[in-house]
Structure 1
Amino acid sequence: MSENPRMAMARHWYASAPVVDGLPLLDEPGFWAAHLADLGEGFPADAFGVDAADAGAALELLHDRSAWPMFRVPLAGGFAILVHYNSGEHFTTTDYFLTHRDWPDSRALVLASDDQDRIGPGLCWPELAALLTAPAGSTGITDPHARLLLLLPVLGDTEAPPEAVSAVVEALVAQGAPPACEALALRLLAGHPMWGAATWTYDDDDEQSWICDGEHSPRQDPFGEHLPDAQRASLEAVFAGRTPG
């Protein structure tokens, strides 16, 4: 697999930065309003069931220059998605990496990033839906509702089905949002404002992979095409909701 110099630099930067486990932040009352603030632009904090002060306090924690939260979403087959907040002197960005237990940090694949390169979307709805159940015995973000909301910024799919709206509403309500939050769910499913939603097609003949037509998407080529055959087959299984061999 060829290395992505930008990702190698980013991961090296994180290795020398004040990265902390973000899992405890999920208990902050304003966490989801803060994490999804860009996606939910135009919706007040009370749409998430919290007040503005709680959302502001959570945002300060996510943007703390002395402690950069990292969230680990464990997947089957040794894979994981890492959500990294990166707070520099002037602004905060969020990177979403796909990693594997056998890869060096420099080999992490980027799914999305809201820095100036605006990388995304990195997932279509069938893939995100397949990643909501954590492997048995895993550690990190294991609650399916939290996994869905945490990874929503990576999603950008113009053909997300009605059940996607229901799933997001259910997740929001489980995290404290009022039951009548369908409008918010629809806005969150419309895609990150830096790259929006895109069209995805599935190559069922040769590549066995979803392909995205988004201008800024890292998924314009078959996913993991540079991986060894066994790892790529495992990755395809995980993102299709199958048990990897």
Structure 2
Amino acid sequence: MAMALDRYAASAPVTGGLPLLDEPGFWAAHLADLSDGIPAEAFGVDAADAGEALERLHDRAAWPVFTVPLAGDFAIVVHYNSGEEFTTTDYFLTHRDWPDSRAIVLASDDQDRIGPGLCWPELAALLPVPAKAAGVTDPHARLLLLLPVLGDADAPTEAVEAVAEALVAQGAPPDCEALAAQLLEGHPMWGAETWTYDADERSWICDGEHSPRQEPLGERLPVVQRSALGAALGGRSLEREGSRRK
């Protein structure tokens, strides 16, 4: 049973979102902000299916929540929140042993606009599924579900290829490279930003003014947990050539 994080009212009508992943218009709806101006047909669905899926995601009576399990007992929770005026989508980094109050906000498209929360090397490292994990376990679904958190001005060519492959796996036509490239331009609230790797802190740092990643991720965590988090996000092995070293 899905539970609301304690930053929401205990009575929040939270519901598990996994069944929605099989809805034909889900990806066109979930990625609507990133694909503005592109018709739903580019995702391999019609506008009616996309509209119906969007209504499900924005239902005030049922707030979908998705859990993307990571290594080391971490997870990213995607939480739709439909208030009286509008729906926002929040992305939290959590750990099995943390109280909700310690969840780290990676991105949120509310009025405060928080993001981006991941660079491409980190997102690519999150696609493999930990053993015996529960939640969103399909690598293609994991990539597309977390794509709004991404905002990386230096995403490589293989990023377009990976996103296109994920789209095709979820029903998009084979010639979807243009759609994949637009999705990688970043959420319109924060766009694509420059990231550098701080070797001393063992963390990627984002230059974006709205990014929560202007400081090392998890710098206040216990050493063991911070090390495990670094491993879950790919560690130093994914450092880009020429990135900053302090």
- Confirm or deny a common fold (TM above 0.5): yes
CA distance in 1, matches of 2:10, 2:130: 26
Q: Percent identity at matched positions?
A: 79
Among candidates 61, 65, 69, match of residue 64 of structure 2: 69
* Structure 1 residue identity aligned to 2:118: L
| Rounded Cα–Cα distance in structure 2 between residues aligned with 1:149 and 1:15 | 29
Aligned to 1:218: 212
Aligned amino acid, residue 137 of structure 2: T
Conservation of the 8 A alpha-carbon contact between 2:202 and 2:235: no
Checking the alignment, whether the CA contact within 8 Å between 2:5 and 2:100 is kept in structure 1 is no
Find the aligned partners of 1:187 and 1:99 in 2 and give their Cα distance.
29
Report the CA distance between 1:15 and its aligned residue. Answer: 3.8
Alignment correspondent of 2:242 = none
5+ residue gaps in structure 1? 1-8
Equivalent residue for 2:227, pick from 220, 233, 240: 233
Residues 1-245 of structure 1: pairs in structure 2 closer than 5 A: 11-13=6-8, 15-204=10-199, 206-240=200-234
Aligned to 2:239: none
Q: Secondary structure at the match of 2:7?
A: helix
Letter in 1 for 2:41: D
Is the CA contact (8 Å cut-off) linking 2:136 and 2:142 kept in structure 1? yes
Q: In the alignment, is the contact (CA less than 8 A) between 1:159 and 1:199 conserved in 2?
A: yes
Q: How many residues align?
A: 233
1:95-151 per-position Cα deviation (integer Å, ceiling 9, x unaligned): 000000010001100000000000000000000000001101111000000000000
**C-alpha separation in 2, matches of 1:14 and 1:38:** 26
The equivalent residue for 1:3 is none
Separation in structure 2 between the aligned mates of residue 207 and residue 125 of structure 1, nearest angstrom: 18
State the alpha-carbon separation in 1 of the partners of residues 11 and 119 from structure 2. 32
Cα separation, 2, equivalents of 1:46 and 1:226 = 45
Distance 1:120 1:141, change over 3 A: same
- 1-side partners of 2:6 and 2:188: how far apart? 25
Q: Displacement, 1:72? A: 0.3
Matched AA of 1:233: S
**Aligned-residue offset at 1:11:** 3.5
CA contact (8 A) 1:73 1:147 kept: yes
Flag the 1:100–1:180 CA change in 2: closer, same or farther, 3 A: same
Change in Cα spacing, 1:120 to 1:14, as seen in structure 2 (3 Å) is farther
Change (3 A) 1:108 1:15: farther
Aligned mates of 1:184, 1:32 — CA distance in 2: 12
Q: Following the alignment from structure 1 to structure 2, what is the Cα–Cα distance between the partners of residues 26 and 241?
A: 29
The residue type equivalent to 1:154 in the other structure is V
Aligned to 1:5: none
Q: CA deviation at 1:94?
A: 0.1
Aligned partner of 2:207: which letter? D
1:211 maps to a residue whose letter is: I
Give the Å deviation of 1:241: 6.0
Whole-angstrom CA distance in 2 between matches of 1:58 and 1:46: 14
- Cα 1:154–1:65 change in 2 (3 A) is same
For the residue of structure 2 that corresponds to 1:216, the secondary structure is coil
Question: Cα RMSD between the aligned structures?
Answer: 1.3
Structure 2, unaligned stretches of length 5 or more?
237-246
Q: Which amino acid aligns with 2:204?
A: W
> Does the 8 Å contact 2:116/2:191 carry over to 1?
yes
Per the normalisation by structure 1, the TM-score is: 0.93
